[in-house]
Structure 1
Amino acid sequence: MDDNKLGEVKDVKWKNIDGGEGKIKFRNRKNRGKLRNFIKGIAFIIIAAVSGGISGAYVIDKKYSNKAYTPNNQSLIESKEEGSQTRTGDITKNAITKVAETVGPAVVGISNRSEGFFGSQDIGSGSGIIFDSNGYIATNNHVIEGAAKVTVKLSSGKTLDATIVGSDPRSDLAVIKVDAQNLPTAKFGDSSKVKVGDTAIAIGNPLGEEFAGSVTSGIVSALNRRIQYGGTIYKVLQTDAAINPGNSGGPLCNELGEVIGINSLKIGTEQNAEGMGFAISINEAKSIIKSLMDYGKVSRPFLGIYGQSVVSEKNNIQGVYIREVIAGSGAAAAGVKPTDIILELDKKKVTKFEDLSDILDKHKIGDSVVCKIWRSGKTMEINITLSEVKEKNR
């Protein structure tokens, strides 16, 4: 038999003894092979399905076991891929939250206490910023002005007595100190980098300790605003972050948690103004704070006059009318008299009283400046040696 024919169905016949015929029928081996392959395929599919189901259940159990609601966990806890998990408490915090957590511990409440008929009483309160871990705190002068006793309440709730290191009424800044070490501090930033529209975050105790640590936010509304308050000209940052009595002395921060200003003034409701808060820019405050730390005061050059802006259409004159000359000042020594009108100072035209401050801020005590004045219809130039500011009670 030909081996090549084994795969075919072939009938074999033979003769029986009785003369009859026998017959054997062979099955085709090729068909039997197809059946075996079909059975193997079905088995493979079943095994693959079972294996896939087991593997999928394992992966789901490992990856999403934390993504389930349980009686003890009603919030969905998300997990990251590759086994790195992030729980709800680790979700990225926004800038305001970070600033509150970073700067908040360095903000204190300050009480201005005075002795009265019923003993020591609070006559005012405000906020302050710890800028040195050894207990040095920056605040506003008006917060501690006239105080018989100053107390500080830390963010931890602890209350300490404070001493006044120095104060400066003109800038409305002061430095006080508590007897403590390793206190949390706030970082002073660079207010020259501040832009209109930047995020502004104020922290303080508006309306007293009951609202201690309040955080408000807004934007920087304007830079280098010049406002007059209590007879003094201030250069401040303007913000629409809510600043109320009690916020005075607290920080105005950028979104990095750096102090860009010290909250100081607020236009009151009598002007029907809302959303207008002010802060002394930190770049101006830095040098004043250093001077208060070093000397307990701020020394500034001073002409030695009190006056006001004036415009005379009759004589076509605009300048500063001198109401009073301070005895012992540089102006008095140079022969300046009341009723004189200052037209120029240091070769720069003077049209309003604020111009004098701008010019003097570029000089130091002992400098000599040329002053052009109008007196009785004539103009003259005199040299004035700048003296130290001597505050006058008015």
Structure 2
Amino acid sequence: MDENKFDKIKDVKWESVSDCRGEIKFKNNRMRSQVRKLFKGVAFILIASVSGAVSGAYIVDKKYSDKTYTPINQSLVETKDGNSKDGTASLPKNAVTKVAEVVSPAVVGISNSSEGFFGLQDTGSGSGIIFDPNGYIVTNNHVIEGAAKLTIKFSSGKTLRANLVGADPRSDLAVIKVDAKNLPTAKFGDSSKVNVGDMAIAIGNPLGEEFSGSVTAGIISALNRRIQYGGAIYKVLQTDAAINPGNSGGPLCNEAGEVIGINSLKIGAQQNAEGMGFAIGINEAKDIIKSLMTNGKVSRPALGIYGQGVVSEEKNIEGVYVVQVVEGSGAEAAGLRQADIIIELDKKKVTKSDDLSEILDKHKIGDSIQCKILRNGKTIEVNITLSEVKEKNR
């Protein structure tokens, strides 16, 4: 074989091998480059993640360093200002919360003890409102009626004995006093500005001291209700705020924390009439409270008669039949007699005793008032000077 040809073949093979080696070397370099890029990408992602976490932690620490989340209830708890530890400090206070904070310190519990077979016995309880820092408290007459001992319990838990200043059964109001100074007081509002639908908040001790300081809320349901209860007539505010027996004497407040009424009764319970509570309008109570503090009683104008509503068989005559004329009264001076029938008073028709009371409430002692009576089939007009007449047995 020709050696030159062999050399040529050998050269060709060698070149082919050389070319193959060169190709393999090129592919290895490219794989290494891809691996390097992969590692760089992973490293970049790791660095970015760590950097983001550090930055986020820094921002959170700066903005929320005064708050933390409890692992038990996951609620936000204030830790710096000390306002709350139960997670509610960041919530805005509503009207009921604000009124309760302002008025509750001026609301007291009243325990009534009277003489019994085994000595002093608890006969009832109710609520009261401190309206004067020198110890004056207003409550309901039925809360303190017949009491031999009155015990006052303050919102702080302190107890004091109280003395009766004055009571008025007709309005169901009474003023008592404790020997204390600088007491927290409630502010009286203006019940004439109350509207149906306004918020109403009641505070008191329903069902006794066990539930002292209870707060209920609702709305004003009606104005100027005339309610007859226990032989008396009340001009009251009606509310659907829950008012139970122990609430008697406690405040009914408006959204501003002003007392607009004194909770007095809850009638209709026998008929399962829920959501019907009543409070004496504070404007009605102010003059009575002032009179009780000054005189220990309320002086009201009176005609000076005892009477009852009558209607004739033909129903053509209605009025108030005079059962008795009080001696020394304005009615006696004007010539009224037993068996007279009052058909008009102050130029207003009357058919029952309540009508007389409503008219007299608009006058004062010493006023002269026109009265039309029916006597033996004849109509007579007289003027009666109103005077204060003491009650006496009929």
User: What is the Cα deviation at residue 382 of structure 1?
Assistant: 1.3
User: What is the Cα deviation at residue 179 of structure 1?
Assistant: 0.3
Equivalent position of 1:128 in the other structure: 128
User: What is the Cα deviation at residue 293 of structure 1?
Assistant: 0.9
User: What is the Cα deviation at residue 315 of structure 1?
Assistant: 6.2
**Partner Cα separation in structure 1 for residue 196 and residue 210 of structure 2:** 32
Equivalent position of 1:105 in the other structure: 105
**Partner Cα separation in structure 1 for residue 273 and residue 53 of structure 2:** 69
Give CA-to-partner distance per residue, 1:195-248, whole Å, 9 cap, x none: 111111111111111211111111111100011122222100011111111111
**Partner Cα separation in structure 1 for residue 327 and residue 204 of structure 2:** 42
1:77–1:156: structure 2 CA closer, same or farther, 3 Å change rule?
closer
Instruction: Output the amino acid matched with 1:178.
Output: V
1:271 aligned onto 2:285: no
Equivalent position of 1:386 in the other structure: 386
Query: Partner of 1:189: helix, strand, or coil?
Result: coil
1:382–1:98: structure 2 CA closer, same or farther, 3 Å change rule?
same
User: What is the Cα deviation at residue 57 of structure 1?
Assistant: 4.8
User: What is the Cα deviation at residue 64 of structure 1?
Assistant: 3.4
1:68–1:364: structure 2 CA closer, same or farther, 3 Å change rule?
closer
Equivalent position of 1:223 in the other structure: 223
| Aligned residues: CA RMSD | 2.7
Equivalent position of 2:192 in the other structure: 192
Equivalent position of 1:254 in the other structure: 254
Equivalent position of 1:12 in the other structure: none
Q: Which moved more, 1:324-333 or 1:132-141?
A: 324-333
Query: Partner of 1:287: helix, strand, or coil?
Result: helix
1:376–1:184: structure 2 CA closer, same or farther, 3 Å change rule?
same
Q: Which moved more, 1:56-65 or 1:344-353?
A: 56-65
Equivalent position of 1:284 in the other structure: 284
Tell me if the contact between 2:204 and 2:212 (Cα under 8 Å) persists in the aligned partners. Answer: yes
Instruction: Output the amino acid matched with 1:347.
Output: K
Equivalent position of 2:365 in the other structure: 365
1:144–1:389: structure 2 CA closer, same or farther, 3 Å change rule?
farther
1:316-327 alignment runs, 5 A limit: 316-327=316-327
1:183 aligned onto 2:183: yes
**Partner Cα separation in structure 2 for residue 233 and residue 68 of structure 1:** 58
Instruction: Output the amino acid matched with 2:135.
Output: G
Equivalent position of 1:296 in the other structure: 296
Equivalent position of 2:11 in the other structure: none
Equivalent position of 2:377 in the other structure: 377
Equivalent position of 1:37 in the other structure: none
Q: Which moved more, 1:66-75 or 1:177-186?
A: 66-75
1:336-355 alignment runs, 5 A limit: 336-355=336-355
Equivalent position of 1:34 in the other structure: none
Give CA-to-partner distance per residue, 1:160-212, whole Å, 9 cap, x none: 11111111111111100000111111111110111111111111111111211
1:232-243 alignment runs, 5 A limit: 232-243=232-243
Normalising by the residue count of structure 2, what TM-score does the alignment of the two structures yield?
A: 0.80
Q: Percent identity?
A: 79
Tell me if the contact between 2:303 and 2:329 (Cα under 8 Å) persists in the aligned partners. Answer: yes
1:389–1:218: structure 2 CA closer, same or farther, 3 Å change rule?
farther
Instruction: Output the amino acid matched with 1:368.
Output: S
Equivalent position of 1:82 in the other structure: none
Equivalent position of 2:162 in the other structure: 162
1:206–1:72: structure 2 CA closer, same or farther, 3 Å change rule?
closer
User: What is the Cα deviation at residue 393 of structure 1?
Assistant: 5.2
**Partner Cα separation in structure 2 for residue 67 and residue 178 of structure 1:** 46
1:351–1:65: structure 2 CA closer, same or farther, 3 Å change rule?
same
User: What is the Cα deviation at residue 363 of structure 1?
Assistant: 1.7
1:172–1:67: structure 2 CA closer, same or farther, 3 Å change rule?
closer
1:116–1:89: structure 2 CA closer, same or farther, 3 Å change rule?
same
1:223–1:393: structure 2 CA closer, same or farther, 3 Å change rule?
farther
1:75 aligned onto 2:75: yes
User: What is the Cα deviation at residue 274 of structure 1?
Assistant: 1.9
Q: Which moved more, 1:301-310 or 1:179-188?
A: 301-310
1:241–1:54: structure 2 CA closer, same or farther, 3 Å change rule?
closer
Instruction: Output the amino acid matched with 2:343.
Output: L
User: What is the Cα deviation at residue 313 of structure 1?
Assistant: 5.2
Consecutive unaligned residues of structure 1, counting only runs of 5 or more, are: 1-44, 80-84
Q: Which moved more, 1:349-358 or 1:64-73?
A: 64-73
1:389–1:230: structure 2 CA closer, same or farther, 3 Å change rule?
farther
Query: Partner of 2:76: helix, strand, or coil?
Result: coil
**Partner Cα separation in structure 1 for residue 275 and residue 72 of structure 2:** 45
Equivalent position of 2:210 in the other structure: 210
Tell me if the contact between 2:68 and 2:78 (Cα under 8 Å) persists in the aligned partners. Answer: no
**Partner Cα separation in structure 2 for residue 307 and residue 301 of structure 1:** 16
Give CA-to-partner distance per residue, 1:296-349, whole Å, 9 cap, x none: 111111011222233325261222222222222211222212222111112222
Consecutive unaligned residues of structure 2, counting only runs of 5 or more, are: 1-43
Instruction: Output the amino acid matched with 1:204.
Output: G
Give CA-to-partner distance per residue, 1:126-168, whole Å, 9 cap, x none: 1100001110000011111111121111111111111111111
Equivalent position of 1:17 in the other structure: none
Give CA-to-partner distance per residue, 1:64-93, whole Å, 9 cap, x none: 3456535588422489xxxxx997424211
More helix per residue? 2
Q: Which moved more, 1:272-281 or 1:354-363?
A: 354-363
Equivalent position of 2:3 in the other structure: none
- Number of residue pairs matched by the alignment: 345
Tell me if the contact between 2:70 and 2:76 (Cα under 8 Å) persists in the aligned partners. Answer: no
Give CA-to-partner distance per residue, 1:98-130, whole Å, 9 cap, x none: 111111111111111112232211112111000
1:56–1:213: structure 2 CA closer, same or farther, 3 Å change rule?
closer
